[in-house]
Amino acid sequence: MSGKSFYLETFGCQMNAHDSEKVIGTLEQQGYRQVESEEEADLLLYNTCSIRDKAEQKVFNRLNDYKRLARAGKRFGVIGCVAQQEGEKIFERAPYVSLVAGSASYRRLPELIERLEAGETRVTGLDDRQTEETFETEFTARKNPYRAYITIIEGCDKFCAYCVVPYTRGKERSRSSESVVEEARRIAGMGYTEIQLLGQNVNSYRDPIGKKSFAELLTAVAEVDGIRRVRFTTSHPRDFTRDIVEAIDAVPTLCDHVHLPVQSGSTRVLRQMAREYSREWYLERIAWMKAAKRRISISTDLIVGFPGETTAEFEETVTLLDEVQYDAVFAFKYSSRPNTPSLVMIDSIPEAEKSKRLQILLDRQREIQRLNYENHLGEKMEVMVEGYNPAREQVIGRSSQNKPVNFSWPHPIAPAPGSYQWVRVTRAFPNSLVGEAVTGEALTGQATAGMAAV
């Protein structure tokens, strides 16, 4: 390879986005320079997601769009979940691809890149589920200007019937609590004030040195000097324990928001999904949060049209919305994924019926959110600034409960991303709040430009 520039596009979740930050830092440490377009790059990388079919197809569409660049001597790499899922079949589908590396192999990137530079045309990094290694690096290129991410656990051992993650991300393996807290200190030293802890099932964390539970780790990160907000995602109901709620109640730095995916409101469907809990089990954990001293905002994920889901069982999911009163719901139609147990189930629900159920669910949730958000009218809340919308002349921010808050700003220069501002809510919509800055009560704290390495 004559040049050492690279282009990286990321598909999928926050974990993929943070993986890309670590990949970028690793490549820059190898002497590479990131560029903004495929045409400028010597090496084109696509960090992929396979959680849904559309995400997977986007990657192959992108490869097809730019395969003409292979004739100019550019190299292509597919990394992440699709790489682990498809393996060397990617070379057959896209012969101009030179690198295929799953996320569990990222720690080997320097070696893989060196092999590319030496002239190898097909380089693979495909670890199986037995790997014990996590991807830790001091060279993370933090691109978010106001929030820093820390992956505390990788992989998944849950094997839900519809999910590819256990096969693409490997088994659950946690970082030591000491390494997590030390990274949090380095992040605070850079000027960041908000940290989000990540994991496929973040609350399944098991400290390999045996010092801290997940709740204790939350508290330890929240107590790092300079940190004002700590978030975590995504939790699994099976590992959601009461001490997590107790920690949120006791430590104001822990954000009062929990994302707890339920997937279905029907116990029978949950059993078919291999979720290993019942509706009642899930609602017990919701009750813990409802009884907390702080008002904890709750969001969830839902799947409609899972094989065999009856109309009555779908209605159980709708009634769950009414019972829990979520502040946000991410709902999807079921689609089969490679290598998953649900492939052998008969997917007899027509696509039109799935679409109908999804719309009913979203319409009901929209009404719930409209009422929930209206409860904030007149409230004064702390908002962390994320940007500025010149078209609306509004500052864009987010509350501790993870609710978008847009507010007017009386000064010619907008507050910097990562700073904090008191805002009084004057209008409410189903997905956002609008307010006015409370002048004279600006809060301290400002993130850095987010480009340095940690």
Q: Which CATH fold would you assign to the domain 380-443? A: OB fold (Dihydrolipoamide Acetyltransferase, E2P) (2.40.50)
Q: Assess contact for 60 and 83: CB atoms under 8 A.
A: no
Q: Which strand ranges, in their side-by-side order, compose the sheet holding 328-333?
A: 257-259, 297-304, 328-333
Which pLDDT does position 55 carry in this prediction?
75
pTM for the structure as a whole: 0.91
Which pLDDT does position 449 carry in this prediction?
31
Dihedrals phi, psi of 405, to nearest 5 degrees: -130, 120
CATH, domain range 148-374: 3.80.30.20
Q: Assess contact for 101 and 83: CB atoms under 8 A.
A: yes
Which pLDDT does position 329 carry in this prediction?
98
Q: Assess contact for 140 and 25: CB atoms under 8 A.
A: yes
Which pLDDT does position 137 carry in this prediction?
81
CA–CA distance, 39 with 27 (Å, rounded to integer): 18
Q: Which CATH superfamily is domain 5-125 in?
A: Methylthiotransferase, N-terminal domain (3.40.50.12160)
Dihedrals phi, psi of 174, to nearest 5 degrees: -105, 150
Which pLDDT does position 173 carry in this prediction?
95
* Cβ-Cβ contacts under 8 Å for 74 (sequence gap 6 or more): 38, 41, 42, 43, 44
Tens of pLDDT along the chain (454 residues) come to 457 999 999 998 888 999 999 999 999 999 999 999 999 999 999 999 988 777 788 889 999 999 999 988 899 999 999 999 999 999 999 999 999 999 888 889 999 999 999 999 999 998 767 777 788 887 899 999 999 999 999 999 999 999 999 999 999 999 999 999 999 999 999 999 999 999 999 999 999 999 999 999 999 999 999 999 999 999 999 999 999 999 999 999 999 999 999 999 999 999 999 999 999 999 999 999 999 999 999 999 999 999 999 999 999 999 999 999 999 999 999 999 988 999 999 999 999 999 999 999 999 999 999 999 999 999 999 999 999 999 999 999 999 999 999 999 988 899 999 999 999 999 999 999 999 999 866 554 443 333 233 3
Which pLDDT does position 443 carry in this prediction?
54
Dihedrals phi, psi of 7, to nearest 5 degrees: -120, 135
Domain boundaries, the chain: 5-125, 148-374, 380-443
Q: Assess contact for 449 and 421: CB atoms under 8 A.
A: no
